[in-house]
């Protein structure tokens, strides 16, 4: 039976500076998308919810309860073996560690061996709900995690590798401009035809004989 294991942080993949800059762009895009969705939701311009992640991003808290209290196990990844898949825990604020940890699950899936459960230990820098009236998390805990902002950590690593700070500032500016253009386009777009509201939501109805076969 596969078991949950901690991803060794001592062997990050050898990524080029160009590849890391590309990841820096993507991280800013995700950060800005999330904050923009919250802002638009609060203004009543977006209905429902959105989240751009497909792995377990464990930010350690529910609305007001820490996972250390809510879960019977220290890691969500320990749930994987119960579903017949390996579980891996990785530092979600270390982009190189996450990049490296994804390699084995991807190879496993492509080989037809099934899914894996990759848990990225992370932290959210804002409240759980756009309408939360108070912050239940300790102030010092929030400050400790903000000091490990994954974008800032990657930016520092890139500067250490010779990437100019101006290039990082330009990357952030490019992503902000891209998102602002997308938001402006969406707000200015005409409202969708209500008749299309269920398009691509449900599969076409099957004849009864096919549906029960």
Taking residues 23-32, report their average pLDDT: 83
In this prediction the pTM is 0.69
User: Mean of the per-residue pLDDT values for the chain?
Assistant: 81
Query: Could you read off the pLDDT of 147-198 as tens digits, one per residue?
Result: 999 999 999 999 998 999 999 999 999 999 998 999 899 889 888 888 887 7
Q: Give the pair of three-digit tokens for residue 108.
A: 């496993």
Give the whole-angstrom CA distance, residue 157 versus residue 161.
6
- DSSP percent split of the chain into helix, strand, coil, nearest 5: 50, 10, 45
Burial of 197 (0-12, 13-18, 19+ CB in 10 A): exposed
Residue 20 has pLDDT above 90, yes or no: no
Exposed/middle/buried for residue 38 (C-beta within 10 Å: 0-12, 13-18, 19+): middle
Where do the structural domains in the chain lie, given as residue ranges?
A: 4-211
How many whole angstroms separate alpha carbon 46 and alpha carbon 38? 9
Work out the average pLDDT over 1-24: 63
For the chain, what percent of residues have pLDDT higher than 90? 33
pLDDT tens per residue across span 76-123:
999 888 888 889 899 999 988 888 888 888 888 888 888 888 999 999
* CATH superfamily of the domain spanning 4-211: Thiamin diphosphate (ThDP)-binding fold, Pyr/PP domains (3.40.50.970)
**pLDDT category, 133, cuts 50, 70, 90?**
confident
The pLDDT, as a whole number, for residue 205 is 62
- Which position has the higher pLDDT, 173 or 209? 173
Four-residue CA torsion sign, 11, 16, 21, 23: negative
Structure confidence at residue 45 as a pLDDT band (50, 70, 90): low
């Amino acid at each position: 039976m596969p078991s949950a294991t901690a991803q060794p942080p001592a062997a990050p993949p050898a990524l080029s500076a160009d590849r890391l800059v590309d990841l820096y762009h993507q991280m800013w895009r995700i950060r800005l998308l999330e904050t923009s969705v919250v802002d638009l939701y609060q203004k009543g311009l977006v209905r429902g919810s959105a989240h751009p992640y497909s792995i377990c991003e464990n930010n350690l808290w529910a609305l007001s309860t820490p996972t250390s209290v809510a879960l019977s196990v220290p890691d969500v990844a320990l749930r994987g073996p119960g579903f017949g898949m390996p579980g891996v825990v990785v530092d979600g604020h270390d982009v190189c560690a996450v990049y490296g940890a994804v390699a084995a699950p991807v190879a496993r899936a492509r080989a037809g061996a099934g899914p894996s459960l990759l848990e990225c230990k992370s932290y959210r820098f804002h409240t759980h709900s756009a309408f939360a009236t108070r912050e239940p998390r300790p102030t010092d805990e929030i400050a400790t995690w903000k000091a490990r902002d994954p974008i800032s950590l990657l930016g520092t690593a890139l500067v250490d590798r010779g990437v100019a700070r101006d290039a990082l500032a330009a990357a952030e500016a490019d992503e902000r401009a891209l998102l602002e253009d997308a938001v402006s386009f969406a707000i200015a777009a005409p409202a969708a035809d209500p008749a299309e509201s269920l398009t691509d939501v449900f599969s076409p109805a099957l004849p009864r004989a096919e549906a029960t076969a």
